[in-house]
Amino acid sequence: MGQLALTTLLAITLWLQLTALSAQTADSGELQLNTGKEIYLAACVGCHAPDGKGMPRTTVGFETPLPDFTVCNQTSREPNSDWKAIIHNGGPARGFSEIMPSFTEALKPNQIEEVVQYMRGFCRDRWPRGELNLPRAMVTDKAFPEDEAVITTTINAKGAPAVTNEIVYERRFGVGNQIELAVPFRFEHQNTGSWLGGVGDITLGYKRLLFHNLKSGSIVSVSGEAVLPTGDKARGLGSGVTIFETFATYGQILPANSFFQFQGGVELPTHRDDANKAVFWRSVLGKSFTQGMGFGRLWSPMVELLADRELLSGDRTNWDLLPQIQVTLSKRQHIRANIGVRFPVNNTNSRSTQVMFYLLWDWFDGGLREGWK
């Protein structure tokens, strides 16, 4: 039997089973499909097994492996909205296999809510949930440990033409740890008419999750970074000195799909003759909108307020405003783009307005070519 035929047969079988059980409930009252456990045992256990680990391939007849809901490293990253989208509209709703059928006709919204809550219980450990993985802002770091690759492009809109590209690689390990590597490339137009560029100062970082609470919608992390003097200072590509940065990050879920994030820290150069100590604080306020009755493309407009100041007597704080909008590109929502404009609010003589853009790939959720259809 072909894969499509197996999928169709499974969908029909599950729907008939649930319909029969619902009829039995109405006639005899022997079974109430109200709790998450009852719904799971009636509609889901045939493929996903009573323990949530998935039935053997020899039993279900599929080559595609079924998910193991007890593996917290995988399931905890996914917000409830992803699970609901797949139950409502089937696996293709998030770019997964059509083996997972749609239950829109078989389950009511409140029943889907109940079964999702029950399935969450298969993960026994206290991992941070995907709801706390707030949209990534252009500059402000987020508290959630992540597996991502991000390339950010910054273009000077005024003054001397210059383009900076930064490639960031983040890798999560364990419940709340992350390592990071950032490599910048800068190109600047010279008075001679040529372009000068090269690699800037490379950054190595470590993030540690301190606190997370889904009920309060809060998450807090601390990070430490070392900015290495790999760029040529004489060509304007680096500071010429190692700089250690330490900062804290905080994320908060707000009502109506809104969110707030904050980052504050200090920069400590190893040699004061080459660079000065500095402090910085960054914040972002945003709101997410979802197409397709809450299951489609996600749009997240947000505004960052950025500040930094060197710790010198009489030095002034630089303030910047950065409106932007992030959008998911793939159905799986693991490929995202963000575009914004950074405006200097003060000290504008030495600082240019910049157009910024990034492309984000959450590589843990799938390859670059996966999850689009």
State the pLDDT at residue 233: 86
Segment 206-238, tens digit of pLDDT: 999 999 999 999 999 999 999 999 998 888 888
* Polymer length of the chain: 373
State the pLDDT at residue 19: 55
State the pLDDT at residue 112: 94
Per residue of the chain (373 residues), give pLDDT as tens.
344 444 444 444 455 455 555 554 444 444 567 899 999 999 899 999 999 999 988 887 777 888 999 999 999 999 999 999 999 999 999 999 888 999 998 899 999 999 999 999 999 999 999 999 999 999 999 999 999 999 999 999 887 789 999 999 999 999 999 999 999 999 887 777 777 889 999 999 999 999 999 999 999 999 999 999 999 888 888 889 999 999 999 999 999 999 999 999 999 999 877 788 999 999 999 999 999 888 899 999 999 999 999 998 878 899 999 999 999 999 999 999 999 999 999 988 888 899 999 999 999 999 999 999 8
State the pLDDT at residue 237: 86
Q: How far apart are CA 18 and CA 110, in angstroms?
A: 15
What is the model's pTM? Answer: 0.89
State the pLDDT at residue 61: 79
Q: Tell me the CA distances in angstroms from 318 to 35, 122, 305, 308, 356, one per residue in order.
A: 55, 49, 11, 5, 18
**24: Cβ–Cβ under 8 A, 6 or more apart, which residues?**
30, 31
State the pLDDT at residue 60: 79
State the pLDDT at residue 293: 80
State the pLDDT at residue 347: 85
H helices within the chain, ranges in order?
3-28, 36-43, 45-48, 57-60, 72-75, 80-89, 109-120
Task: Give the long-range contacts of residues 148-153, CB within 8 A, separation 24 or more.
Answer: 148/360, 148/361, 148/362, 148/363, 149/360, 149/361, 149/363, 150/358, 150/359, 150/360, 150/361, 151/358, 151/359, 152/356, 152/357, 152/358, 153/356, 153/357, 153/358
- What residue spans in the chain does CATH classification 1.10.760 cover? 3-120
- The CATH number for 3-120, chosen from 3.90.70, 1.10.760, 1.10.10, 3.40.50, is 1.10.760
End-to-end CA distance of the chain: 24
Tell me which residue has tokens 């601390």. 222
CB atoms within 10 A of CB 173: 11
Tell me which CATH code domain 130-365 carries.
2.40.160.40
Residue in 184, 182, 189, 274 with CA at minimum distance from that of residue 234: 274
- What residue spans in the chain does CATH classification 2.40.160.40 cover? 130-365
